[in-house]
Structure 1
């Protein structure tokens, strides 16, 4: 009886080892397969986001070579203006007008109530156009501006069209 008990225990131990080995070997394959699927999904998602970002940046000075070439005035004896340096300068000059006590004059809106309109976000579309988002804390709007880089390297703005959304 003792021998049959030992035999049963030995068979049970061998079966446990066999099942444990099979479980862990299949688990590794399962995890590798799951990792590959997840990696593929993430790569597809990243590629999709890159495509959408490229489409969204189509209208921007940073990605518009024709607009960048506009600032290459060497043929007419002028200076080269690098768009990498121009974009933050134009944005800063426009946002500096937010300090005006009546609000930023380039929103195209007069002060309504106690709050003044200020520009929150700026996107330079090309060598001539800017789109900006503005608000007074209660009302929101957008404005399309023209900007000019003058020969003395000053920057001037002109409101083309503005839109104030309903509350």
Structure 2
């Protein structure tokens, strides 16, 4: 009786070990396949987002080598680093928001009780800036020209401005 009990227990142990091995080996293969599929999807998503970001930043001073070369005149005393120029131009344009009548470079006169101020600025190249402005109720965009003068001051000129219809 003891021999048959040990035989049954041995067979049961071998079968349990066999089924456990098969289950775990299939689970590992399933997890590896799932990992490969997820990794492929994530790589595709990253590539798609990288492409979209490159397309969105096509018109920007950071990515426009011809516009960057405009600031490199060849002589060391007139060279302007565009990396340092971008925050300076943005800051100087946003400093005009402190004007009591609003930022004069929105191209719009004050309509209501609130003044127009510039919210976002994007420097497109060595000559153009696009900016978003609002007075809290009315929103618009403006296309500006900017110039870096010989004394390294920056001057702005409104090229075109538009207001969006007020949303109800």
Q: Which residue of 2 aligns with 1:155?
A: 154
With normalisation by structure 1, the TM-score equals 0.91
Q: Distance in 1 between matches of 2:26 and 2:78?
A: 68
Q: Distance in 2 between matches of 1:102 and 1:6?
A: 97
Q: Distance in 2 between matches of 1:60 and 1:144?
A: 14
Structure 1 unmatched runs, 5+: none
User: Cα offset for 1:11?
Assistant: 2.4
For 1:107-164, what per-residue CA distance to the aligned partner results, in whole angstroms no more than 9, with x for missing partners?
1112222221111111000110000011111221111000011111110101111111
Aligned-residue Cα RMSD (Å) equals 1.8
Q: Which residue of 1 aligns with 2:68?
A: 68
Q: Which residue of 2 aligns with 1:138?
A: 137
Secondary structure at 1:74's aligned position in 2?
coil
Matched pairs, number = 166
For 1:43-66, what per-residue CA distance to the aligned partner results, in whole angstroms no more than 9, with x for missing partners?
111111111111111111111111
Residues 1-167 of structure 1 aligned to structure 2 (within 5 Å)? 3-74=3-74, 79-167=78-166
Structure 2 unmatched runs, 5+: none
